[in-house]
Amino acid sequence: MTNEQGPEVTATTQGADAGTNAKPKDKSHWLYLSVIVAVIAGITVGLLAPGVGEGLKPLGTMFVSLIKMVIPPIIFCTIVIGIGHVREAATVGKAGGIALVYFLIMSTFALGIGLLVGNFIQPGEGLGISAGSGDVDAAAESEGGFFGFIQNIIPDTIVSAFTDPEQAVLQTLFVALLVGFALQAMPNKIAGPCLYGIELAQKVVFKVMSMILWVAPVGAFGAMAGVVGGTGMDAVWQLITLMLGFYITCVLFIVLVLGTILRASTGLSIFKVLRYLGREYLLIVGTSSSESALPQLMQKMEFAGVDKATVGIVVPTGYSFNLDGTAIYLTMASIFIADAMNISMGLGEQIGLLVFMIIASKGAAGVSGAGIAALAAGLQAHRPEMLGGVDIIVGIDRFMSEARSLTNFTGNAVATLLVGKWTKSLDMAQANAVLDREKTFEYSTDDEIVEPVGASPQPADQKPSTERWQP
């Protein structure tokens, strides 16, 4: 009797374990299809019934309001954890320092390229979309001059920094910087538990962000119906121009900028690197998030001859600080909104926008769609009256996220090879053999690879990335 029941019980137990350990199915493709259908439906309603379409515009506005709702906690968590990553990078010495300097330079350069291309193609020009209520706020803020601006950054209380509707972004940033540097100055036994808790809180915030993104089809439908209802097909062609310009800019950035730097520094071909990472690109296209391929990137960079310690610091840090695709997107989308609202920005204002976007872009690689949250945060801090134009971008943001993610991913792969070369921790013979297909990478079947905080979807038992500071 016992012998007959044993296998049955074992099989049942194994089945239960398999069900427990089974990874959740990725349903992001349904969201992608839903956004496509919603955009087409919005355009159709806007063309056939312009009055009805304009009446649906509040749907897009409400979606942007949901994004604004999570901006303060996203900024706080990413800035504090980002400063923590700087501390981690500093402990690694030369590789960490070189990586941070390189990330800052390349992200700023990518933002500048976005500004140049945006000014060249002038997407959104002539749409004549009305600006939001931020005009009044911006005028009120400018009355105090420089000292009034500084005074508005300082919140009445730490909690009020998260609740002030007009200054939430800058005040939250101010508080996050204070907390981040305070934790840096404290011993690990105190800083560790605090940072560990903030990383757990970041997971919750990004989960909320993921839930909000499932309402994107409704927001895209309302935004497209409203814009097309008010401007006709001109809006559609301008949005297509922005998309094509962004995709072409990302391709040229990868091939010309990253490719040239890689060739000059290491002698390696960017096209061979792209071929080597082909499978990861397919994964990124399916999830619209570069973090979905982070474990494979680390494995492949090690196999390509980069020292494990260098990979361990450059790749995770790059996912917070080296977001080339997101940087290009932020400035191009900002120029589009300014043109669409007939808001003129001089060179000085555009440089100011670039500075704000440098801050907003850090930590934007959390979940699919975090780019639009960074865009809203940057505009709210720099030009609040332009925030109402974010709902125009909602309709096409999903289609631009793939290019953002692919560019971010490629930038981090190239950065790892470059830092490895500059710190003499790259085996050039191994790198050439791998990229020339003389040696083939074999994918691991280990299911216990843990993704960093912010990856989507995340298992319930996932541990934050700040392993060395865990209590």
pLDDT at 120: 84
Q: Is the pLDDT of residue 272 over 90?
A: yes
Map the chain to HEC letters. CHHHHHHHHHHHHHHHHHHHHCCCCCCHHHHHHHHHHHHHHHHHHHHHCHHHHHHCHHHHHHHHHHHHHHHHHHHHHHHHHHHHHHHHHHHHCHHHHHHHHHHHHHHHHHHHHHHHHHHHHCCCCCCCCCCCCHHHHHHHHHCCHHHHHHHHHCCCCCCHHHCCCCCHHHHHHHHHHHHHHHHHCCCHHHHHHHHHHHHHHHHHHHHHHHHHHCCHHHHHHHHHHHHHHHHCHHHHHHHHHHHHHHHHHHHHHHHHHHHHHHHHHHCCCHHHHHHHCHHHHHHHHHHCCHHHHHHHHHHHHHHCCECHHHHHHHHHHHHHHCCHHHHHHHHHHHHHHHHHCCCCCCHHHHHHHHHHHHHHHCCCCCCCCHHHHHHHHHHHHHCHHHHHHHHHHHHHHHHHHHHHHHHHHHHHHHHHHHHHHHCCCECHHHHHHHHCCCCCCCCCCCCCCCCCCCCCCCCCCCCCCCHHHCC
pLDDT at 218: 85
pLDDT at 167: 61
pLDDT band at 155 (very low <50, low <70, confident <90, very high): confident
pLDDT band at 11 (very low <50, low <70, confident <90, very high): very low
Average pLDDT over residues 298-326: 82
Q: Is the pLDDT of residue 461 over 50?
A: no
Highest mean pLDDT: which range of 279-288, 299-308, 356-365: 299-308
pLDDT band at 379 (very low <50, low <70, confident <90, very high): confident
pLDDT at 172: 78
Chain mean pLDDT for the chain? 74
Burial annotation 355-381 (CB, 10 A radius, 16+ → b, else e): ebbbbbbbbbbbbbbbbbbbbbbbbbb
Would you say domain 59-441 falls under CATH 3.40.50.720? no
pLDDT band at 137 (very low <50, low <70, confident <90, very high): very low
286, 288, 290, 291: CA torsion to nearest 10 = -90
pLDDT at 206: 78
* Per-residue pLDDT reduced to its tens digit, 66-99: 877 877 887 788 778 767 666 655 555 667 778 8
Average pLDDT over residues 430-441: 89
Q: Is the pLDDT of residue 141 over 80?
A: no
**Residue 44: both structure tokens together:** 């159709």
pLDDT at 394: 72
pLDDT at 189: 83
Q: Is the pLDDT of residue 173 over 60?
A: yes
pLDDT at 250: 92
**Residue 104: both structure tokens together:** 């800052």
pLDDT at 154: 81
pLDDT at 264: 94
* Per-residue pLDDT reduced to its tens digit, 291-302: 667 778 888 998
On the CB side of 88, CA atoms within 13 Å amount to: 25
